[in-house]
């Protein structure tokens, strides 16, 4: 079956909300999609008849097995394009999301598989999110928050949950981006701040609050 851009955006949004909670509500989806609750209800009825979501009025909804598969396909497209934009076209990692948002709806399977091959089958996008393979399989990236990292272990920045400007500012200022390798040198117990060291740079400190928003994985 073939889906409209709008339907695809709904599926993707439900998928993301489901990561946290198993059942998704009208209002939460409306907030995420910048739409009115009434519009959500309309679309849920439609997606229900298409067997994409389980839905009973007033009881929230979740993707069916089929819906999940389709959502993973959309996310695959999104993340491969993000990787392309960042790696090949040299966009900065904060610019890629919006453009990928459009490109992801071009739905030729062959295009995406060839793009995947051209990019060398990357497993993570520039934000550190895993890219589903052509069967929709996702590699779990054992991530942990920077705030949880043991001292003197080299870790790689692979996700930032807060994309607000102050956060981006702070990252840029300290030269942190996707793929940055760093170590936690000290943990100050009085205010829980961390001293961070990036190779060949002066150390600096970040608050625990900020460190919670930066995910890393082990690596050299």
Partner DNA sequence: AAATAAGTTTAGACAAACCTAAATTAATTA
Partner DNA sequence: TAATTAATTTAGGTTTGTCTAAACTTATTT
Q: Binding its own copies by CB under 8 A: which of 36, 45, 51, 88? A: 88
Q: Binding DNA by CB under 7 A: which of 11, 17, 40, 182? A: 40
Rounded CA-CA distance 15/24 in Å is 9
Beta bridge partners of 55: 61
Under a CB-based contact definition with an 8 Å cutoff, are residues 100 and 78 in contact?
A: yes
Tell me which of its own copies, DNA, none is bound by residue 144, counting a contact when its beta carbon lies within the kind-specific cut-off of 5 to 8 angstroms.
none
Give the distance, in angstroms, between the CA of residue 145 and the centroid of all CA atoms in the same chain.
Answer: 15
Say how many C-beta atoms besides its own lie within 10 A of residue 143's C-beta.
Answer: 17
* Interface size with DNA, residues (CB under 7 A): 27
Q: Which stretch binds its own copies (CB under 8 A): 7-15, 101-109, 151-159, 163-171?
A: 101-109
Find the shortest distance in angstroms from Cβ 163 to DNA. Answer: 22
Q: Which stretch binds DNA (CB under 7 A): 23-31, 64-72, 149-157, 210-218?
A: 23-31
Per CB under 8 A, 91 contacts its own copies? yes
56 Cβ contact list (under 8 Å, min separation 6)? none
Say how many C-beta atoms besides its own lie within 10 A of residue 22's C-beta.
Answer: 9
Under a CB-based contact definition with an 8 Å cutoff, are residues 207 and 191 in contact?
A: yes
Rounded CA-CA distance 34/137 in Å is 29
Find the shortest distance in angstroms from Cβ 110 to its own copies. Answer: 8
Query: What residues line the site for DNA (CB under 7 A)?
Result: 4-7, 9, 25-28, 34-46, 55, 57-60
Binding site for its own copies (CB under 8 A): 85, 88-91, 95, 98-99, 102-103, 106, 108, 110-111, 114-115, 118
């Amino acid at each position: 079956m073939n889906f409209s851009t709008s339907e695809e955006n709904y599926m993707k949004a439900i998928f993301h909300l489901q990561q946290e909670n198993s059942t998704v509500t009208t209002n939460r989806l409306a907030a995420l999609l910048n739409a009115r609750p009434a519009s959500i209800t309309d679309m849920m009825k439609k997606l229900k008849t298409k067997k994409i979501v389980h839905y009973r009025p007033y009881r929230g909804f979740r993707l069916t097995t089929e819906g999940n598969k389709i959502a993973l396909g959309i996310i695959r497209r999104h993340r491969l394009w993000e990787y392309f934009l960042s790696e090949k076209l040299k966009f900065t990692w904060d610019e890629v999301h919006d453009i990928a948002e459009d490109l992801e709806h071009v739905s030729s399977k062959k295009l995406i598989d060839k793009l995947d091959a051209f990019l060398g089958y990357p497993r993570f996008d520039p934000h550190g999110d895993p890219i589903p393979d052509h069967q929709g399989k996702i590699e779990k990236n054992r991530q942990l928050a920077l705030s949880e990292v043991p001292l003197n272990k080299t870790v790689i920045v692979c996700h930032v949950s807060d994309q607000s400007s102050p956060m981006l500012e702070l990252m840029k200022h300290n030269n942190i981006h996707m793929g940055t390798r760093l170590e936690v040198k000290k943990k100050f117990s009085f205010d829980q701040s961390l001293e961070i060291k990036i190779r060949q740079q002066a150390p600096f400190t970040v608050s625990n609050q900020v460190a919670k928003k930066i995910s890393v994985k082990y690596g050299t």
